[in-house]
Amino acid sequence: MYVGHHTGWKVPPASELYGGKVEQIDDWCSEHLVPESQCIECNPNLYPKPKEFGFCSEHGVSECVLCHPELAQVKGEPQLPKHDTTQAIALLPRPENNSRNTLHRSRVQFASATSVEKYGIDIDLAQERMMSDILTANGEVVFNPTRVAHLMTRVPGTVAAVFKTVGHDVKRNDVIALVDSAQVGHAKSQLLQALVQYRLRRTTVERLRPISSSGAVSGKTLIDAESAMEEAEVMLHSARQAFANLGFE
């Protein structure tokens, strides 16, 4: 029972039963990240490199397949392109390659075919096809975003009238549209109500001050009236500020 629980109910190798150790073979190339036994850089005999022809001064590349078609990995007899490759190369400016660069001698290796699929590498045959100067693609015509202003109202409402549409010239302070908003109406009503209350309180104070000095009314009555006027003035300023916040002066 003890042996079964500690060995996963599997019979261990004889070397482990008698105290021996099984040597683990490290078959991994840490430099090229592939199994050591399959590394073609560390074991050149696995995949010999083709004959090197050096740098091509005519086309500016190393191991030029145009001058040496036998370097091209194709089936059958190597053939040069039917079209003028010189014009294709001269179509756009190309940086000059360094003739002393040796990176082209390094070969890319993967540990397995699964690694190739994981990195999203697709392998296909190189084919010679006609190229077209026209490319068909979907597009969307939009205004220049640096010259477009998106307008919005400070309060919700319903557009009652539109005075400017697409194509019209506009300038500063032009009326673009008229928005009917209940919130603006409420703010205006609050402002008018506060204005009426302030004027009423002020008129009351102006009437009480002359007769208060003669003793016809008590000083407390005048103080209460002045306090009510100051309170009405504060409410008036608050209503004006709320109306100004909506864009009205």
Contact 67, 55 (CB under 8 A): no
Show the domains of the chain with their CATH numbers.
26-120 (no CATH), 153-249 (1.10.287.470)
What pLDDT was estimated at residue 173? 84
CA–CA separation, 213 vs 193, rounded Å?
31
Kindly report the number of other CB atoms within 10 A of residue 39's CB atom: 20
The span from the CA of 96 to the CA of 69, in Å, is: 22
pLDDT of residue 138: 92
pLDDT score at 215? 73
- What's residue 6's pLDDT? 45
Report the distance separating Cα 72 and Cα 75, nearest Å.
9
Round to whole Å and give the CA distance between 175 and 162. 9
The larger pLDDT score, comparing residue 118 to residue 3, is at 118
Rounded Cα distance between 143 and 14, Å, is: 80
Q: Are strands 55-56 and 61-62 parallel, antiparallel or unpaired?
A: antiparallel
Q: Give pLDDT tens digits for 150-189.
A: 878 888 888 888 888 887 888 888 888 888 888 888 888 8
Cβ atoms of 247 and 154 within 8 Å: the answer is: yes
Beta bridge partners of 180: 158
What is the C-alpha to C-alpha distance for residues 215 and 227, in angstroms, rounded to an integer?
A: 20
> For 56, phi and psi rounded to 5 degrees?
-95, 110
**What percentage of the chain has pLDDT greater than the value 90?**
3
pLDDT at 1 over 50: no
Q: Could you read off the pLDDT of 181-212 as tens digits, one per residue?
A: 888 888 888 889 999 999 998 998 888 888 87
Checking if the pLDDT of 15 tops 70, the result is no
pTM score: 0.36
What digits encode the pLDDT tens for the residues 21-42?
555 567 888 888 888 888 888 8
The tens digit of pLDDT for each residue in 128-160 reads 777 777 888 899 988 888 887 787 888 888 888
